[in-house]
C-alpha cells in the first residue's frame, strides 16, 4: 500500500503540537537574525532611500530638502524601524517556510495545491502594490500636499526701486560645491538649494563648507519630522499592499462557495463604489492620484473574477488527481483521496465531488 499524506495518519498529541510549534517559532526567529543585523548595518542607507521621494518633492517646490529630527532617539528609532521592516520582507520566505512545515502535515494533498496558488499570488500582488505606491502614487501625493502646505510666495512680496548708490552683491550659483573653496567665500548650490560659506575647519588647517537652507518667503512652510513621515509612509504602503490582495480574497471566497462569477458580475457596481471609497481614503483628494488609485482597485476586482473563472476549486483539485499515481490493487477504499475531509475543511471540495467532476470532464 502506498504512503499518503493523509492528516489522519499522522496523529500527534497536544504536547507534541506545542513542541513542534515551539521548534518552528525558534527556527523562524533564529533564521532571520543574520538578516536583521545586516539590515541594521545598512539602516541609514534605507532611511535615505525612503526619504528620497519627499526630498525630491521639496526640491521641486524650491523648499529646504532636509527633514527634522526633534527627539534624541528619533533618527535611531527610524533606522531600527527600517531595519525591522527590511528583515520581515527579506526573511518572509524563510518564515513562511517554517509556517508551512508546521501546518503541511495537517493538510490533504489536494488542499496543499490551494496554498501553492495563494502564497505566490499574494506575494506577487504585495510586491506590485508597494511598488505601485512608492514609484507612482507617492510622488503625486507628496507634490500635492507640499504645494498645498506652502502659504505665501516670494513673487508676491512687495517690491520698491533700489535706493540710489546701493549695489547688490552677486553670489555665484554653482551646480556642485567647489573643491578647496577659499576662506570666507560663499556660493549657492543649485542642486540642494543651499547657501554655503567657506569657514575654517576645527583644527584650522583647512576650509570646509557650511550651508544654510534657502526657500521662498512664506507664512507657512512645510518642515517634516522623520518619524512622522516614515510612519505615514509605512501605513500607506501597508494599505496599498492590503488593497492589492483583492484577487486573493475573491479566489478564497469563490473556493469556499460564498461567491461565484455570477455574484461578481451582479455586484460590479458595488465594487466600483468600494473602489471610489478606497480612492478617497488613500489619496489626499487631487484628481490625478484619485484616478490612479480607483482604476487599479477596480481592475483588481475584475482580475479576481478572471482568476476564479480560470481556477475554480474543482479544477485546482483535479490537477492533483491528474498527477497522482495510479492506485495499487491492494489500496484500501479508505485512502486519503476517497475519504471526506474532516469537519472544518468544508471550504475545500470533498474528494468524492472532485472525482465526480473529474469524470465529467
Least confident of 42-51, 103-112, 190-199: 103-112
Give the pLDDT band of residue 6 (cuts 50, 70, 90). Answer: low
Does 185 score more than 90 pLDDT?
Answer: yes
Q: Mean of the pLDDT values across residues 120-127?
A: 91
Does 111 score more than 80 pLDDT?
Answer: no
Give the cell for residue 122. 499574494
The more confidently predicted of residues 331 and 249 is 249
Query: What pLDDT does residue 155 have?
Result: 55
Supply the mean pLDDT for the chain.
Answer: 81
- Assign 216 to helix, strand or coil: coil
The more confidently predicted of residues 177 and 102 is 177
Query: What pLDDT does residue 329 have?
Result: 45
The CB density around residue 357, as the number of other CB atoms within 10 Å, is 17
Q: pTM of this prediction?
A: 0.74
Tell me the angle at which helices 138-149 and 43-60 cross, rounded to the nearest 10 degrees. 50
Q: Mean of the pLDDT values across residues 87-113?
A: 83
Query: What pLDDT does residue 355 have?
Result: 46
- Assign 68 to helix, strand or coil: strand
Does 113 score more than 90 pLDDT?
Answer: no
Cα–Cα distance measured from residue 10 to residue 106, given in angstroms and rounded to the nearest whole number: 8
Give the pLDDT band of residue 292 (cuts 50, 70, 90). Answer: confident
Give the pLDDT band of residue 322 (cuts 50, 70, 90). Answer: low
Amino acid at each position: 500500500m502506498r504512503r499518503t499524506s493523509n492528516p489522519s495518519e499522522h496523529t500527534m498529541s497536544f504536547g507534541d503540537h506545542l513542541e513542534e510549534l515551539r521548534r518552528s517559532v525558534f527556527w523562524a526567529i533564529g533564521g532571520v537574525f543574520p538578516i536583521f543585523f545586516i539590515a541594521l548595518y545598512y539602516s541609514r542607507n534605507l532611511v535615505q532611500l525612503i526619504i528620497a521621494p519627499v526630498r525630491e518633492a521639496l526640491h521641486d517646490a524650491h523648499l529646504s530638502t532636509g527633514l527634522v529630527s526633534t527627539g534624541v532617539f528619533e533618527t535611531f528609532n527610524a533606522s531600527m524601524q527600517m531595519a525591522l521592516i527590511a528583515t520581515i520582507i527579506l526573511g518572509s520566505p524563510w518564515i513562511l517556510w517554517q509556517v508551512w512545515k508546521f501546518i503541511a502535515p495537517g493538510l490533504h494533498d489536494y488542499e496543499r495545491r490551494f496554498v501553492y496558488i495563494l502564497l505566490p499570488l499574494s506575494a506577487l500582488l504585495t510586491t506590485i502594490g508597494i511598488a505601485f505606491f512608492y514609484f507612482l502614487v507617492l510622488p503625486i501625493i507628496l507634490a500635492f500636499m507640499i504645494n498645498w502646505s506652502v502659504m505665501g510666495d516670494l513673487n508676491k512680496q512687495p517690491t520698491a526701486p533700489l535706493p540710489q548708490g546701493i549695489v547688490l552683491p552677486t553670489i555665484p550659483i554653482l551646480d556642485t560645491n567647489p573643491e578647496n573653496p577659499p576662506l570666507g567665500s560663499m556660493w549657492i548650490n543649485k542642486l540642494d538649494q543651499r547657501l554655503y560659506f567657506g569657514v575654517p575647519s576645527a583644527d584650522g588647517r583647512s576650509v570646509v563648507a557650511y550651508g544654510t537652507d534657502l526657500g521662498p518667503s512664506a507664512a507657512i512652510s512645510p518642515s517634516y519630522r522623520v518619524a512622522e513621515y516614515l510612519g505615514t509612509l509605512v501605513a500607506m504602503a501597508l494599505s496599498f499592499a492590503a488593497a492589492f490582495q483583492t484577487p486573493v480574497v475573491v479566489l478564497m471566497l469563490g473556493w469556499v462557495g460564498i461567491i461565484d462569477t455570477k455574484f461578481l458580475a451582479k455586484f460590479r457596481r458595488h465594487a466600483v463604489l468600494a473602489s471610489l471609497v478606497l480612492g478617497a481614503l488613500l489619496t489626499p483628494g487631487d484628481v490625478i492620484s484619485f484616478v490612479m488609485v480607483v482604476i487599479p482597485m477596480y481592475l483588481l476586482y475584475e482580475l479576481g473574477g478572471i482568476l476564479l473563472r480560470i481556477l475554480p476549486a474543482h479544477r485546482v483539485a483535479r490537477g492533483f488527481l491528474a498527477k497522482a499515481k495510479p492506485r495499487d490493487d491492494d489500496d484500501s477504499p479508505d485512502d486519503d483521496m476517497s475519504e471526506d475531509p474532516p469537519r472544518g475543511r468544508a471550504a475545500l471540495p470533498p474528494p468524492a465531488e472532485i472525482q465526480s467532476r473529474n469524470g465529467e470532464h
